[in-house]
Structure 1
Amino acid sequence: MTHYVDSEVSRLTTVMLHRPGPELARLTPRNNDSLLFDGIPWVGRAQEEHDAFAAALRERGVEVLYLGQLLAETLAVSEARTEVIAGVLDDRRLGDTLRGRVAGYLADQDPPRLADVLMAGLAHEEMKPGPGGLVYQMMDPHDFVIDPLPNLLFTRDSSVWIGDRVAVTSLAMPARARETTLTEAIYRYHPRFAGTDLLYQPGLEHVEGGDVLLLAPGVLAVGVGERTTPAGAERLALRVFAAGLAHTILAVPIAQERATMHLDTVCTMVDVDAVVMYPIVADTLRAWTVTRGADGEPVVAPPRPFLEAAAEAMGIDRLRIIDTGLDPVTAEREQWDDGNNTLAISPRLCVAYERNVETNAQLERAGIEVIRISGSELGSGRGGPRCMSCPIERVPLTDDR
């Protein structure tokens, strides 16, 4: 099948989600910080909220693929199974004795069970009888032999489609590094994605999908901050240019704070010429404009206001701003609750958390239809509808106007 994405807002036809599962139940007050969650979600309610999100997409004609199911089907391919297990065993914490027992344990699992273990992790007490060896004996009974991956919920970060190619990203935080081994295996070995060219791979300089916005065909904005490095933005630009997928990359520095970890936590598109944006950064956000020189090397222009540089690259007079909140306190609260992190299903139609009352009202005043979903538990990992979705296919923007 051919998959294709050239913008943030053209009509969405296929998306990859991850329904939260046992990996979320592994979160405790003891480990939630290291696993990058601000709270301990109620798993059953999070699943209900996620099911409602998926249902809202289906009601609008969107095909929903689930990462867990794709992974189980991928692991039926022997090469994929071998590669993914090798990635788990390449953990210097294990030691030879425990590594051997883990290898045997994983080899004994059928594809669905193996997928569950790779996502939800393997606890110390689940290995019975204990494998012996110094490493296992010195582990705390509450430790994990294989760490859970609760952030799989945010499928946007581990891959992003640009045109007909997919960039499997390089995640910066150690708690998330193994996510991309699963995502890469899906794109390389699942029959649905046969022949897909990988534009980026894990192991390269850090780039995360939440920092990549497809502003228009041929124009990308890449946030640079806590998760995506300048070197990662440059590497992605070089590969995008070489593939002929864009003519302009905007490198956008963002504040390195927990609430603004990705560019899409302060800015997402809701129409071909409109963004919903955290007002505190609207006037200060800047961009370095990167284009391809005649020798193939990047040409970098001095920084300019982001909104000005984006409009020029997109070939429009201006980029309309829809603020999150009418006053600074409301704006800050709703930005923290992912008010800026909307998912566009088509131009002027987006999904947003219902709790961001003022932001949603602002969107509707600007002519944007809002599909409200509950996110009281889903939001505990600091991510909204855009974070939780990886668009795999959209109608080309030129065909959708």
Structure 2
Amino acid sequence: MATHGADSEVGRLRTVMLHRPGHELSRLTPRNNDRLLFDGVPWVARAQEEHDAFAMALRARDVEVLYLTDLLTETLADVEARELAITTALAGLHLGDTLRTYLRSALMAATPAELTTLLTAGVRNDELRGGSGLVTSLLAPDDFVVDPLPNLLFTRDSSVWVRDHVAITSLAMPARARETQLTELIYTRHPRFAGTPRIHGHQFEHVEGGDVLLVAPGVIAVGVGERTTPAGVERFARQVFEGDLAHTVLAVPIAQERATMHLDTICTMVDVDLMIVYENVAEALVAHAVTVAGRDDDGTLHLAVAPPRPFLAAAAEAIGIDAVHRIDTGLDPVTAEREQWDDGNNTLALGPRVAVAYERNDATNARLRDAGIDVVEIAGSELGSGRGGPRCMSCPIVRDPL
């Protein structure tokens, strides 16, 4: 059994899970892209070319690339896994018994590869070959009976490794709920991950992977805002403390705006003591340090929540270093806002002072290089249409420990 896990954002990256854009992106239209959480309708072929170049850049740095759909297809070879995946996909109350019965039979008859495509790209009403009844009659021909999952591209959101445990997250938006269910199926049923301990889960309070930063071994920052709730952070903190996976969780309130939906749209780490930070909110970022206050005789864990402190100062104190330094996005407030919108500070560290970034963010990348960072540039004109950068598009599964 392979050893998986990560204790930081910047340990040498060894294995990563990606999702190559597929048919699910071709399902986006100007009428449904907002509901499916995309800012635009991407050019799918170009998005695939850009993603292939991203994967190639990772392999060139000796990173093993796993694809989510390959893992899912291998998982669905198991009959029990197929049954669970199909039951979950058909749980919506909008289907009705006639259509649900037909779909269950049709999906069970599909091969593992076909089923992967159906579960990720969705099924439209006009693609059905049976199940006709009241529901299908009243739905528009292009209505989806099983929704596509275009946001699978952002594999960071649905799972996070914390040391040797994998945290299955709970996504806040209904359009993304099935993503974590498929991810959980992979981690529970795929042979590669047999015996992997898990924390959290899709059924619990909302915590999204883009809000979770492994600041240092034992120190985790979690953004609290549009997608991750205070209750989600509380449960997550209890679980990492119970598992002895961290000694401090930094709860970081973030503005509930589209451009800053996750903590990693505001800051990412490029070294053990260095973050790239969105300049326009940097001074306002604070953190509440959450630690273990004690336990009752029955083992019940109690949390201590410190008053807010500037985020970088709180992070440095939790790590036990003098300071966490920052590099600002852009060159001034205007370019900072533009390049933050284009995911200029959503970088993926391949190791200390080595980071993947979108090539279009000239000013930010220049600042990174001036600070001694080896910037691996990739194209992202189409990949970025879902508002996510290299970090969003990657789930590290193995990093060297710091």
Q: State the TM-score bracket (shorter-chain normalisation).
A: over 0.9
What is the distance in 1 between the residues matched to 2:64 and 2:200?
25
What is the distance in 2 between the residues matched to 1:263 and 1:53?
22
Aligned equivalent of 1:319: 324
**Residue deviations 1:183-242 (CA, integer Å, cap 9, x gap):** 000000000000001111111000000000000000000000000000000000000000
Q: Give the 3-state SS of the residue equivalent to 2:38 in structure 1.
A: coil
Cα offset, 1:9, TM superposition: 0.3
Aligned equivalent of 1:126: 127
Aligned equivalent of 1:25: 26
Q: Alignment partner for residue 366 of structure 2, among 361, 366, 369?
A: 361
Aligned equivalent of 1:162: 162
Aligned equivalent of 1:332: 337
Q: Give the 3-state SS of the residue equivalent to 1:58 in structure 2.
A: helix
Q: Give the 3-state SS of the residue equivalent to 2:237 in structure 1.
A: helix
What is the distance in 2 between the residues matched to 1:132 and 1:282?
55
Superposition pairs for residues 272-287 of structure 1, below 5 Å?
Answer: 272-287=272-287
Aligned equivalent of 1:390: 395
Matched residue type, 2:99: L
Matched residue type, 1:252: V
Aligned equivalent of 1:112: 113
Matched residue type, 2:304: V
Aligned equivalent of 1:305: 310
Q: Alignment partner for residue 355 of structure 2, among 342, 350, 356?
A: 350
**Residue deviations 1:160-189 (CA, integer Å, cap 9, x gap):** 000000001000000000111110000000
Superposition pairs for residues 62-77 of structure 1, below 5 Å?
Answer: 62-77=63-78
Superposition pairs for residues 78-97 of structure 1, below 5 Å?
Answer: 78-97=79-98
Matched residue type, 1:369: D
Aligned equivalent of 2:50: 49
Matched residue type, 1:382: R
Cα offset, 1:317, TM superposition: 0.7
Cα offset, 1:143, TM superposition: 0.5
Cα offset, 1:133, TM superposition: 1.4
What is the distance in 1 between the residues matched to 2:89 and 2:351?
39
Q: Give the 3-state SS of the residue equivalent to 2:346 in structure 1.
A: coil
Q: Give the 3-state SS of the residue equivalent to 1:7 in structure 2.
A: coil
Superposition pairs for residues 241-320 of structure 1, below 5 Å?
Answer: 241-295=241-295, 296-320=301-325
More deviation in 47-56 or 97-106? 97-106
Say whether 1:237 aligns with 2:242.
Answer: no
What is the distance in 2 between the residues matched to 1:171 and 1:4?
22
Matched residue type, 1:297: H
Asked whether the 8 Å contact 2:101–2:131 carries over to 1, the reply is no
What is the distance in 1 between the residues matched to 2:89 and 2:370?
49
Cα offset, 1:30, TM superposition: 0.6
Matched residue type, 2:45: G
What is the distance in 2 between the residues matched to 1:315 and 1:136?
61
What is the distance in 2 between the residues matched to 1:349 and 1:238?
32
Q: Give the 3-state SS of the residue equivalent to 2:25 in structure 1.
A: helix
**Which ranges in structure 2 are unaligned for 5 or more consecutive residues?**
296-300
What is the distance in 1 between the residues matched to 2:249 and 2:89?
34
Structure 1 consecutive aligned stretches of length 4 or more whose deviation exceeds 3 Å: none
Matched residue type, 1:107: M
What is the distance in 2 between the residues matched to 1:391 and 1:327?
32
Q: Identity of paired residues, percent?
A: 68
What is the distance in 2 between the residues matched to 1:68 and 1:109?
15
Matched residue type, 2:286: R
Q: Give the 3-state SS of the residue equivalent to 2:247 in structure 1.
A: strand
Aligned equivalent of 1:173: 173
Aligned equivalent of 2:190: 190
Matched residue type, 2:170: S
Q: Give the 3-state SS of the residue equivalent to 1:284 in structure 2.
A: coil
Cα offset, 1:132, TM superposition: 1.7
Matched residue type, 1:109: A
Root-mean-square deviation (Å): 0.6
Q: Give the 3-state SS of the residue equivalent to 1:141 in structure 2.
A: coil
What is the distance in 1 between the residues matched to 2:369 and 2:344?
13
**Which ranges in structure 1 are unaligned for 5 or more consecutive residues?**
none
Q: Give the 3-state SS of the residue equivalent to 1:178 in structure 2.
A: helix
Cα offset, 1:108, TM superposition: 0.9
Matched residue type, 1:198: R
Alignment TM-score, normalising by the size of structure 2 = 0.98
Q: Give the 3-state SS of the residue equivalent to 1:268 in structure 2.
A: strand
What is the distance in 2 between the residues matched to 1:80 and 1:107?
11
Cα offset, 1:297, TM superposition: 1.1
Say whether 1:378 aligns with 2:379.
Answer: no
